[in-house]
Amino acid sequence: MSTNYKILFLDIDGTILTPDDTIQDSTKKAVQLMKEQGLEVFLATGRPLHEISHIGETLAIKSFIGYNGAYAIHNGKDVFRQPMSPDLVTKYLEIANDKGNELILYTNTHNLLSHPDEEMTKQFSKKFHLKQNRTFTLDEKENILGITVVNLKEKDIALYEEFPDIHLSQVNIDGFRHSYDVISDKVNKGFAVSLILKRLGIEKEFSIAFGDGLNDKEMLQVVGEGFAMGNAHEMLFSYAKHKTTSVTDSGIYNGLKWLGLIKE
C-alpha cells in the first residue's frame, strides 16, 4: 500500500452527502486533512456542476467532474467537455414520450426538463436541488452533457440501451430508484479520472476514489484504491478494491484512516 497518494476523487450523493442532505463533520475533517497533506481533491458526480458549487464551497474544493464524466474542471479551469450525441437526445425524447418517462437533460448552465409539470420530475428536482430549470427545446440538443431518465419501469430500460455504447445506471437513493442516469461506455467517471491523472502526471497507484452508485464503477476501477461505501448499491462491491463504512458512519474518514492517511 502506497503512502505517496496524490489525488482523491469523491462522489457526492450517498458518499459525501447523507440521506438528509448533510455532510458529516468527519467527512469535512477528512477532506481538510487530505488537502493539508497536499492531495488534489475532486468532486466526481452525475450532477450538473452549476448545481453543486455550494458543496464545493463548503469543502473548499475547486476541482470537479460533472455529468458522470462529460465535463471536468481543475482549480476553476475547464479541462474538457464532451456533449452527448444529438441523435441520442432526439431518440430518447421519442422513447420517453412513447413510454411516459420524463427526461432531465443537463447543459453546462441549465437543467432542461422534458415534462416540467410531472410530479416525479418535480420531486427529483427538489431532492437534488435543481434550481436552474427550463423546459427542454430541440434547439438545445447539441449542448447536452448528461441525461437522467425519471419514472422509468425496469422492463423499458432495454429500449434506451439499444443506442450504441450506452447503459443506464439506477440512482442509488431511496425513493428515486425509478430514475436512471444515462452513462456512456466511453465517456464516464472512469474516463474523466483517467484523463485527469494523465493531465496531472499522476500514476494510477497514487489515486483514491470513493463511490456508492453503479455510475461509480468505472471510476473505482481506474484508481489505485477504490472504495465502495457501506451503503453502496450491492452490485458495486465487486468493482471496488475496498469496502468502507456507510455515508452515515464516517465512510470516507474510515477508508482514508485504513490507508494510513489519517493517524488519529
Residue 85 CA to residue 83 CA, distance in Å, equals 7
Quick: pLDDT tens for 203-234: 999 999 999 999 999 999 999 999 999 999 99
Q: pLDDT-derived band of residue 1, with 50, 70 and 90 as boundaries? A: low
How confident is the model at residue 53, as a pLDDT? 87
Q: Give me the percent of the chain exceeding a pLDDT of 90.
A: 88
Q: pLDDT-derived band of residue 3, with 50, 70 and 90 as boundaries? A: low
Contact 199, 74 (CB under 8 A): yes
Residue 121 CA to residue 117 CA, distance in Å, equals 7
How confident is the model at residue 204, as a pLDDT? 96
Grid cell, residue 38, equals: 497536499
Quick: pLDDT tens for 9-55: 999 999 999 999 999 999 999 999 999 999 999 999 998 888 888 99
For range 94-98, the mean pLDDT = 96
Domain residue ranges in the chain: 7-81+187-258, 86-184
How confident is the model at residue 2, as a pLDDT? 59
Q: Where are the beta strands (DSSP E) in the chain?
A: 7-10, 40-44, 63-66, 71-74, 77-81, 102-106, 111-113, 133-135, 146-150, 166-170, 180-184, 207-211, 225-228, 242-243
| Structural class in CATH, domain 7-81+187-258 | alpha beta
How confident is the model at residue 33, as a pLDDT? 96
Grid cell, residue 138, equals: 430541440
Residue 218 CA to residue 84 CA, distance in Å, equals 18
How confident is the model at residue 185, as a pLDDT? 87
Q: Which fold has domain 86-184?
A: 3.30.1240
Residue 225 CA to residue 177 CA, distance in Å, equals 28
Grid cell, residue 15, equals: 458518499
Quick: pLDDT tens for 149-201: 999 999 999 999 999 999 999 998 888 999 999 998 888 999 999 999 999 99
